[in-house]
């Protein structure tokens, strides 16, 4: 090859590649003009998603990057690879941490059993002003042309990612900022190979980044694996091949695939391709987008930082990358055979049962101390969680519901009999009408789910109460709440109080009004029977009047929350210490716990810490109650 540092190529016999070419039938015109009709945009989005689901990639034409710029950039790189070896030696390195490097085969050259027929030149591109100074000074127009090309391709990729966002139902810009912070340019140069049957230009692999875009030259070489065979991807003039990476596969929760692909060699012609990769920052959390995860679509991958992925797989671009990737980071691999899926299901069930067993063992240890009888939750941070993770509006509340189901399970396993949640304040009705409507629709959906036979409330024998001024709810939501209360009326093992259309001040006013009405009714009955001795007038004795004064017991009897004792622990997520007009009357002597995480992030150990804090302060709290 052109690089004199390439070692002897090991023989690597591959199967007959054949001459079959595959013109990518899903190629389409991708127009980014703001004048595009909504119908065209929607159709374009659907084509992108369908192509990425069926083939794992697509080719884009009419993309906005000028043909002249594409040709100039290709010419610059061909000129660079044709420069004297003494000049290119300045960039030669197998160090993956070097920002500008030239190497042969792969970064694992000294350890790999098979060498591949390519030279690769890679460097960072974003921000341009910080990286351009390390780029080659020759050819003389390298920095100018490649800088312009890199900026245009980045804009194109971000536009494509926004269309993917829209198609998946994610917030616009979800893949911006830290998700696509690093831009890497990777140019492969393959000189004619004397015997293409002995080696590949690049091994089969999946791209490890967020998304890739490839500018092919006019020489065939790229192949994709589909339906059990390798199929050629025909080079199209002025077209880009767009390929989702493994990180996009994770974030989409496998709604998009990251295709396995490779490069074959040519015996007669050189081939140069320009790849651009968008890569997350090293501290960026990779996980299935919460908007794509629900009760029917469990996350297929665990959360991990990109640097964990990078440190595990640096330089390993072989197929084993994907296989090891699912082992390290995946919960499931949908590409496995039925037998493997069944085996995986059994393993998942085993570890799930093991986790449940260990959790119950831990709770038994925790039960050595005092166990709270009643825990109340202010579920704060759903909207902030959605904004933090760039999810569409309403997604935070849906994910928060999943967190609630887990917390309820933990509470009932621990032996907590009463759980109260602050689901919707009267003040929340002041939010935008469409937001309120969205929350009400979600609430109705989840309420109706509570009365299903397999629901958590029936599993643990939980009676459900809806607490608050229910007259403020829409008729459909109110009727759903009434059906849920009626359906669970026979459950007696635990109680779940759901505060909706609730504030503590409204509860207190309601209780006082009801107490007054009750006393007046008593007085009227006595007066009508002649036994009241004129209490309604001015003739009653002082003792008679005292008997008909309203006391604390009267007020508490008419509280919405009379169905449960005062809480032992009140947990408010997001680090806020305000009670926000919740259980002001009942929380005078309860333990307050304010973890910093947002409600959808709450988990098992947060509950454990709250209970441990309660146990440490138990004696003090009990003494305070006695002083009242």
Q: Which residues are catalytic?
A: 380
With beta carbons less than 8 A apart as the criterion, state whether 184 and 276 touch. Answer: yes
Closest C-alpha among 468, 465, 472 to residue 502? 468
Distance of alpha carbon 124 from alpha carbon 135, whole angstroms: 9
With beta carbons less than 8 A apart as the criterion, state whether 563 and 583 touch. Answer: no
Largest CA distance in the chain: 120
Distance of alpha carbon 346 from alpha carbon 352, whole angstroms: 10
Distance of alpha carbon 349 from alpha carbon 365, whole angstroms: 25
- The sign one gets for the Cα dihedral 98, 99, 105, 108 is positive
Residue length of the chain: 628
Closest C-alpha among 306, 256, 255 to residue 283? 306
Distance of alpha carbon 261 from alpha carbon 14, whole angstroms: 15
With beta carbons less than 8 A apart as the criterion, state whether 261 and 299 touch. Answer: no
SS (H, E, C) 106-135: CCCCCCCCCCCCCEEEEEECCCHHHHHHHC
Torsion of Cα atoms, 230 then 235 then 238 then 243, to 10°? 10
With beta carbons less than 8 A apart as the criterion, state whether 73 and 42 touch. Answer: no
Distance of alpha carbon 383 from alpha carbon 350, whole angstroms: 35
Closest C-alpha among 384, 288, 375, 409 to residue 566? 375
- The sign one gets for the Cα dihedral 439, 445, 449, 450 is positive
At 444 the three-state DSSP class reads helix
Which segments of 473-559 does DSSP mark as H helices, in order? 475-487, 504-529, 542-547, 552-557
Distance of alpha carbon 582 from alpha carbon 566, whole angstroms: 12
With beta carbons less than 8 A apart as the criterion, state whether 81 and 2 touch. Answer: yes
Closest C-alpha among 207, 283, 237, 269 to residue 52? 207
What token pair was written down for 265?
Answer: 């060699």
Helices H, strands E: what count in the chain? 19, 21
């Amino acid at each position: 090859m052109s690089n004199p540092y390439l070692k002897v190529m090991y023989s690597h016999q591959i199967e007959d590649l054949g001459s079959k070419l595959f013109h990518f039938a899903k190629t389409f015109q991708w127009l980014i003009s703001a004048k595009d009709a909504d119908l065209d945009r929607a159709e374009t989005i659907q084509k992108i998603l369908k192509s990425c689901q069926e083939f794992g990639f697509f080719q884009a034409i009419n993309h906005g990057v000028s043909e002249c710029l594409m040709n100039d950039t290709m010419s610059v790189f061909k000129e660079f690879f044709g420069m004297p070896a003494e000049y290119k030696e300045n960039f030669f390195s197998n160090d993956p941490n070097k920002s500008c490097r030239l190497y042969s085969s792969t970064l694992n050259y000294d350890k790999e059993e098979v060498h591949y027929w390519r030279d690769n030149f890679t460097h960072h591109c974003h921000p341009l002003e910080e990286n351009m100074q390390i780029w080659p000074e020759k050819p003389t127009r390298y920095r100018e042309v490649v800088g312009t090309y890199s900026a245009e391709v980045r804009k194109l990729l971000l536009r494509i990612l926004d269309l993917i966002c829209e198609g998946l139902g994610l917030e616009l810009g979800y893949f911006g900022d830290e998700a696509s912070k690093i831009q890497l340019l990777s140019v492969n140069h393959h000189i004619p190979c004397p015997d293409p049957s002995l080696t590949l230009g690049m091994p089969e692999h999946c791209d490890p980044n967020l998304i890739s875009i490839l500018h092919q030259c006019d020489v065939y070489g790229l192949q994709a694996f589909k339906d059990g065979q390798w199929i050629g991807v025909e080079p199209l003039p002025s077209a880009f091949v767009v390929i989702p990476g493994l990180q996009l596969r994770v974030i989409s929760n496998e709604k998009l695939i990251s295709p396995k692909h490779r490069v074959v060699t040519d015996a007669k012609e050189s081939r140069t391709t320009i790849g651009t990769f968008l890569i997350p920052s090293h501290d960026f959390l990779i996980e299935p987008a919460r908007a794509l995860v629900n009760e029917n679509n469990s996350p297929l991958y665990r959360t991990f930082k990109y640097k964990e992925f990078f440190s595990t797989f640096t330089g390993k671009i072989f197929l084993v990358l994907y296989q090891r990737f699912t082992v390290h980071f995946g919960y499931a691999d949908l590409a496995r055979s039925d037998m493997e899926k069944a085996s995986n299901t059994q393993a998942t069930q085993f570890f799930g049962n093991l986790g449940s067993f260990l959790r119950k063992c831990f709770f038994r240890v925790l039960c050595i101390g005092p166990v709270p009888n009643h825990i109340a939750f202010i579920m704060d941070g759903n909207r902030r969680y959605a904004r933090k993770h760039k999810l569409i509006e309403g997604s935070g509340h849906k994910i928060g519901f999943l967190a609630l189901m887990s917390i309820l399970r933990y509470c009932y396993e621990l032996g907590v009999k009463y759980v109260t949640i602050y689901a919707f304040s009267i003040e929340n009705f002041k939010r935008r009408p469409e937001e309120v409507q969205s929350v009400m629709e979600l609430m109705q959906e989840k309420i109706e789910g509570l009365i299903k036979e397999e629901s958590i409330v029936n599993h643990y024998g939980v009676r459900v109460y809806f607490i608050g001024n229910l007259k403020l709810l829409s008729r459909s939501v109110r009727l759903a709440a009434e059906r849920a209360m009626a359906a669970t009326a026979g459950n007696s093992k635990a109680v779940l109080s759901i505060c909706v259309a609730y504030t503590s001040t409204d509860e207190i006013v309601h209780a006082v009004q009801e107490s007054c009405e009750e006393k007046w009714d008593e007085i009227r009955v006595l007066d009508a029977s002649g036994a009241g001795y004129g209490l309604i007038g001015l003739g009653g004795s002082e003792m008679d009047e005292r008997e008909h004064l309203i006391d604390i017991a009267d007020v508490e009897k008419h509280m919405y929350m009379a169905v449960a004792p005062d809480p032992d622990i009140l947990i408010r997520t997001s680090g806020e210490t305000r009670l926000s007009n919740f259980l002001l009357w009942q929380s005078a002597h309860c333990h307050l716990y304010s973890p910093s995480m947002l409600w959808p992030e709450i988990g098992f150990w947060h509950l454990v810490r709250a209970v441990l804090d309660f146990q440490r302060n138990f004696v003090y709290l009990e003494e305070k109650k006695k002083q009242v």
